[in-house]
Amino acid sequence: MQKLTIKRPDDWHLHLRDGAMLEAVLPHTAQDFGRAIIMPNLVPPVTTTKDAAAYRERILAALPKGMDFDPLMVLYLTEQTDPQDVRAGFESGLITAVKLYPAGATTNSSSGVRDMDKIMPVLEVMAEIGMPLCVHGEVVDSEIDIFDREAVFIDRVLDPLGVRLPELRVVFEHITTKQAVDYVAQASRALAATITTHHLMINRNAYLAGGIKPHYYCLPVAKREIHRKALVAAAISGDPRYFLGTDSAPHTDPNKLQECGCAGIFTAPNTMGCLAEIFEEEGALDKLEGFASLHGPAFYRLPVNEAEMVLVRSDTPASYPSSIDTQDGPVTVFDPLRPIHWKPER
């Protein structure tokens, strides 16, 4: 048996949903993570500080007694977002970041942004006060191949935004390509990137080879092996610009397994075991704490968690649930397609 002790990790990109789903999935994050950036793409979306305050109260009400977890609230950016509400929410400490969804890019993103010029007053205020902008980095034009959406987003949106507002602090979320890794690595401005558990572990064969497998479908989609290897290299590099954002996104099986199934992979229950397996495989266990526990707080200008997590490795594969039950139906847990020998010590 082998043990690894790290500072308690955080999740810098998380979907908790609402209602019965929130109550079912929240404990699986709260048992491992001290904090999480909470995605605001509910129906209706969390667009104002008042909305975020109410959502935060629902999250805390659903938190099981004895669990210590701090939800970091995010506003959903629209072309009607009030810059002064954003300022007030951030300065009060209630709002941590704002999320940019290109309209139609992913689940519940229809209220997102179509015209970047219309959100510049908000972005200018954010740049002034040092507030991070989280971006779903894909273009959604129908003529762009889905495997090229991220690379085109860099050219069309992210790079021009950096020229226009170089002081704006940006998190390029759930990157999936070597182009994105290289772009963040060479950036001279305040640009960081989150990397998901599943994009470190699977390539596009997981959902396309041997038949369509909806439980591996997410947005952005997993891509070629060359891109997965680039993500792994970034994650284990020790570069503080890369940190964990699981994008754990639960959907019930009936919603995944239909003619037009939902995008999202639920990784909260086994993320830390999967990450330890990958980092061990790469001979980089000493870099896991930075990726999961240190780099994110540094970018968000927050203290590192004082508590610690102990990860234990056994010779026999660890046991994780294949699914969880919710009042709305079962939710399948990410299957990494390999044995996982690591597990947090409970």
Q: Which of 10, 11, 85, 247 is catalytic?
A: 247
Q: Does an H or E element contain 5, and which? A: strand 2-7
What do you get for the CA distance between the two ends of the chain, in Å? 15
With a CB cutoff of 8 Å and minimum separation 6, the contacts of 338 are 201, 277
Task: Tell me whether residue 247 is one of the annotated catalytic residues.
Answer: yes
Identity at 276, one-letter amino acid code: A
**Do you know the residue count of the chain?**
346
Check if the beta carbon of residue 314 is closer than 8 Å to that of residue 341: yes
* Residue 248 burial (C-beta neighbours within 10 Å; 0-12, 13-18, 19+): buried
Alpha helix segments (H runs only) across the chain: 19-30, 49-62, 83-92, 120-129, 149-153, 159-164, 178-186, 197-201, 205-208, 225-235, 253-256, 271-281, 288-289, 295-300
Active site residues: 247
